[in-house]
Structure 1
Amino acid sequence: MDSTLKTRKILSYISALIISLLCGTQYLFSVYSTSVAERLGFNSVQINTIGSSANYGLFFFGPLFGYIIDKHPTRLTPILASITIFTGYFCLAMTYQGYFPKSFLLCVFYLFLTGIASCAAFFSVLRTISVNIKSYRGIAIGSAMALFGLTAFVFSQINSFFFKGDTYHFLLFLAFATGTFMFIGSIFLVILPQEEDYEEVSSQNEENPVSLPSTSTNSQEQTPLLPRREESNIRGRELFKNIDAILLGLSMLLIGGVGLMYMNNVGAIIKSLYLTTSFPSEDVSNEIQRYQNFHVTLLSILSCFGRIFVGLMSDLTKYKYNLRRLWFLLCASLYLFIGQIFAGFVIKNLSFLWISSIFVGFGYGHLFGISPTITNEWFGNEHFGLNWGIMSWFIAIGGQLFNLFFGYNFDTHKDKCLGVSCYNTAFYVSAIGSMISLCVVSGLLYKRRNSV
């Protein structure tokens, strides 16, 4: 490989990592959600719907962008994404400050735009890395996934140190930072020509013409592998006819929904616990903001660590001990279940809520660290973008269902409750959801016990 091509590949990968770090801003919602709700007069159901709209954009457009980028990879997609994400956060900031109409539906639309932009940019990143990097592809893609999970940590720390509860200027910063750096990264995010691969193969064949007559031997050696490859080549609507895909999707719906319910509403949980278990300080809003930043940071770090950990460990245990990757999805269910039990029924003091955030963040990281790999291995690599986009729908549906229930329950009790009693009913439902996901994944493990 010549030095120019190598430099372009390095720049493209660095750009991919930078864009990945900007694509997970939907997990930052709890940092400013309570402030937006108070300023604009939204109830809990409304603010949950606004938060979920970013997840809608991120997950529901996965199949579309997966298909587009599989067929027509281009820099235009992330460039348009940079403009779209800037528009979403800028309009939300203007609405918060009163320059734009204080409309609930418009706020839903603004965050919906940020989710669509994140989806388009991140699928472009995954496609670019998978084509450009042939060796160590797992580590390369895993690093991008980890940085995606680290977005909330980076921006929540910036909010803590520089904005200190100034939601308007923080949202403006979010708009300009994501839009500008995503645009710059898109310039260098290129899929490099692969002609050199074919040149190397053809030159080797010319140097070794004796190997040509052995074609029949080679085909005999490859024949046993063909049926297995065909069996795993499932795409699009065929997933809904495949029992394994349906069960995997159901487990992702439950695990992802439970995780998103906690992550999107940890701000409301913190506020409820703070007003009942802490001595009010002179500036209550800044004190609550500090706790919110801390828990969003903790969730982000543990999510990032969970993605890296499960990627490395699932590879190691599969190839060294023949342990199925599904066991790590079972672990994700277990971590989320423990987190729900602590948050809903055990922890009644804000000082100990970090325990739940650790379990939820680590379990949610496990989900996103292992489910794309399972999707790839079970249903084939040829249409991975489309397939993963469809499977991620289940997470979005689960997030909306659990978020809506939390919001409805919180609004019902908020005027006649204190602390944990404001929301623990929602955790009965989420704990049951986690238990069902444990059963579903266990059933998948039993069903596929004899599969390759």
Structure 2
Amino acid sequence: MAPPNSAVPGLLSVPRLTTLLASLVVAVGSGTNYLTPFPAYSPQLAARLNINHTQLNVVGLAGNVGVYSSAPFWGRIVDSRGPRIPIFFGFIFLFFGYTGIRHFYNTGVDDGNTLSSLGLGLLIACSFMTGAGGNAAFTGAVNSTAKSFPDRARATTTGIVLSGFGLSAFFFSTLAHIFFPGDTSSFLLLLSLGTALTTFIGLFLVRSIPLSASEDDDHTIIPTVAAEAEATIFHHGDDIHTPLLDGDSAAPSSPLMEEYVSDARGIELSPPRSSPSASRSRSASHRRSISRSKQEALEGLNVYGRALWTSPDFWLLFANLSLLSGTGLMYINNVGSMSQALFAQGNPEYDEIKAAQFQATQVSTISIMNFAGRIVIGVISDILKNRFGFPRSYSLLLVSSLFFCSQILAAQITDVTNLWKASTLVGLSYGTIFGL
């Protein structure tokens, strides 16, 4: 039960904005594994450890598996215990995960040798930790933001937090380019300390702010006819009690009234005369009954447990997210190697510095467009729902179309100078699917 409106902070109050900004900070530190820093250092890591491209992809895939496989676990904890426990584990996993990867990079292997199976297994585990840790902190941040803002502003505010997740790669890559150009070890140190610091800040500032009763009503959809019937039946301003039925005669029932009034559950339509105090008592009792009815209607919209696994809508959304995000991840995890291969094609004088510049361009482009896509889709879905009354899921048509066009464009590129075009469209598409 939400506290009285006077005790609940306003929509743009300091507590709500603090949660929003702190969640954004946490999101910036949580998206390092999820998007493009891996292709920013993966070719250098492969060369340092003398591992092949397949092994490198397994290392990158471990981070993605950490993100996705841990999501239900962290979500369950956030729902039952709040955001602090996942954010704390995010702090631990991100710090030790990136510290471990940096240790392997600094140690390296001797020329002619390869990384041992045990070493490869530990490297994969470190990558998994960065993915699981980032998702833990991010889940706490997004969940707190969603619970702190009403439905009319939820997509926009969560879109802002999601945009920080997408901007993470650009943020850390830019800092590394400014302060540690070409130094992969320092870049990994920045990821280790930077992600730990952002999640440490969120540990103290991210929390759910309760909504007022009027904001809670945003979640409950009451048909207009039902609302009018409720107002007509229950909210008379006078004290006159005229019997609705004359004697024992029965008036013909209306299907419309049966549909919306049948939920009254024994409430008298023509109460007997009584004292004002009794009337107030019945009025208060009725308000509690209506509140319970609204709460029951709200809870009826929640789908979980067995009902979730048997819901066609769930599997449709699951399939959409899997296919579209998998397409984006395939491109993102390999864009560093793709840019280097395109740069080397027909180029007898391979310049590592120029190759790294093209590689960094793809990382920054994807990150910025991912950031933009998450905000844009949040605004679009809010407009579709609040102004036009369309479900947010209608935006999936736009998102899937963007993905389709991005792959058509990527298939046509044979020159590294044009690769940024595909990176732009993939980044935008990837941002919209997760923002939505």
Q: Does the alignment pair 1:297 with 2:357?
A: no
Residue equivalent to 1:311 = 378
Query: What is the CA deviation profile of residues 103-151 of structure 1, one whole-angstrom value per residue up to 9, with x for unaligned ones?
Result: 2211110011111111111111123223444583333222111111111
Which position in structure 1 is the counterpart of 2:125? 109
Determine which structure has the larger helix proportion and give its number: 1
Contact map agreement 2:159 2:377 (CA 8 A) in 1: no
| Pair 1:342–1:280, CA change in 2 (3 A) | farther
The 1-side partners of 2:8 and 2:282 are apart by 33
Partner of 1:54: 63
Task: Give the 5 Å matches for 1:336-415.
Answer: 336-344=403-411, 346-370=412-436
Alignment pair present for 1:23 and 2:40: no
1:143 counterpart residue number: 160
Specify which of 174, 177, 187 is matched with residue 204 of structure 2. 187
TM-aligned CA distance change 1:233 to 1:80, over 3 Å: closer
Q: Aligned residues: percent identity?
A: 29
Q: Bigger shift: 101-110 or 55-64?
A: 101-110
Match of residue 432 from structure 1: none
Change (3 A) 1:264 1:4: same
Structure 2 unpaired stretches of 5+: 1-5, 110-114, 215-278
Go from structure 1 to structure 2 and tell me whether the alpha carbon gap of 1:195 and 1:351 turns closer, same or farther (over 3 Å shift). closer
Distance in 2, matches of 1:195 and 1:269, equals 48
Aligned position for 1:332: 399
For 1:238, the equivalent position in structure 2 comes to: 307
Deviation of the 1:331 alpha carbon: 2.0
Partner of 2:141: 125
For residues 393-437 of structure 1, the C-alpha deviation after alignment (integer angstroms, 9 at most, x for no partner) is xxxxxxxxxxxxxxxxxxxxxxxxxxxxxxxxxxxxxxxxxxxxx
**Is the CA contact 1:21–1:147 (under 8 Å) kept in the aligned structure 2?**
yes
Report the AA paired with residue 92 of structure 1.
I
8 Å Cα contact 1:164/1:289 also seen in 2: no
Instruction: Give the direction of change, closer, same or farther, for the CA distance of 1:163–1:220 in structure 2 (3 Å limit).
Output: closer
Q: How does 1:273-288 map to 2 (within 5 A)?
A: 273-276=342-345, 280=349, 284-288=351-355
**Compared CA separation, residues 324 and 129, structure 1 to 2 (3 A):** closer
- Secondary structure class of the residue paired with 1:347: coil
Query: Does the Cα contact within 8 Å between 2:149 and 2:211 map onto a contact in 1?
Result: no
Please give the secondary structure, in 2, of the residue aligned with 1:366.
Answer: helix
| Shift in Å, 1:74 | 5.1
Output the CA distance in 2 between the equivalents of 1:233 and 1:9: 24
Partners of 1:167 and 1:257 in 2: how far apart? 27
Quick check: 351-360 or 261-270, which moved more? 351-360
- Residues in 1 aligned to 2:354 and 2:305: alpha-carbon distance in whole angstroms: 48
**Would the aligned equivalents of 1:19 and 1:185 in 2 still touch at CA under 8 Å?**
yes
Which of the pair has more CA radius of gyration?
2
Is residue 165–residue 285 contact of structure 1 (8 Å, CA) maintained in 2?
Answer: no
- 1:241 maps to a residue whose letter is T
TM-score by length of 2: 0.73
Query: Amino acid of the residue matched to residue 434 of structure 2?
Result: F
Shift of 1:83: 2.1
Residues 62-211 of structure 1: matches in 2 within 5 Å? 62-73=71-82, 75-98=84-107, 103-134=119-150, 136-191=153-208, 194=210, 210=280
1:87–1:221: structure 2 CA closer, same or farther, 3 Å change rule? closer
Contact 1:164 1:286 in 2 (8 A): no
For 1:66 and 1:309, locate their aligned partners in 2 and report how far apart those are by CA, in whole Å: 25
How far apart, in 2, do the equivalents of 1:155 and 1:220 lie? Answer: 51
Q: Offset of 1:180 from its aligned partner? A: 2.3
What is the TM-score normalised by the length of structure 1? 0.71
Cα contact 1:328–1:366 (8 A) shared by 2: no
Letter in 1 for 2:189: L
Residue equivalent to 2:333 = 264
With CA pairs under 8 Å and 6+ residues apart, which has the higher RCO, 1 or 2? 1
Counterpart of 1:213? 283
Distance across 1 between alignment mates of 2:394 and 2:369: 19
Q: Please, what is the CA RMSD of the aligned residues?
A: 3.1
Residues paired across the two proteins, number: 355
Q: How far apart are residue 216 of structure 1 and its match?
A: 4.7
Residues 220, 77 of structure 1: CA spacing in aligned structure 2 closer, same or farther, 3 A cutoff? closer
8 Å Cα contact 1:21-1:148 kept in structure 2: yes
What is the Cα deviation at residue 234 of structure 1?
Answer: 1.1
Q: CA deviation at 1:211?
A: 8.8
Partners of 1:15 and 1:186 within 8 A in 2: no
Matched AA of 1:306: G
Picking from 9, 33, 38, the partner of 2:42 is 33
Letter in 1 for 2:165: F
Please give the alpha-carbon distance, in whole angstroms, between the structure 2 residues aligned to 1:297 and 1:234: 38
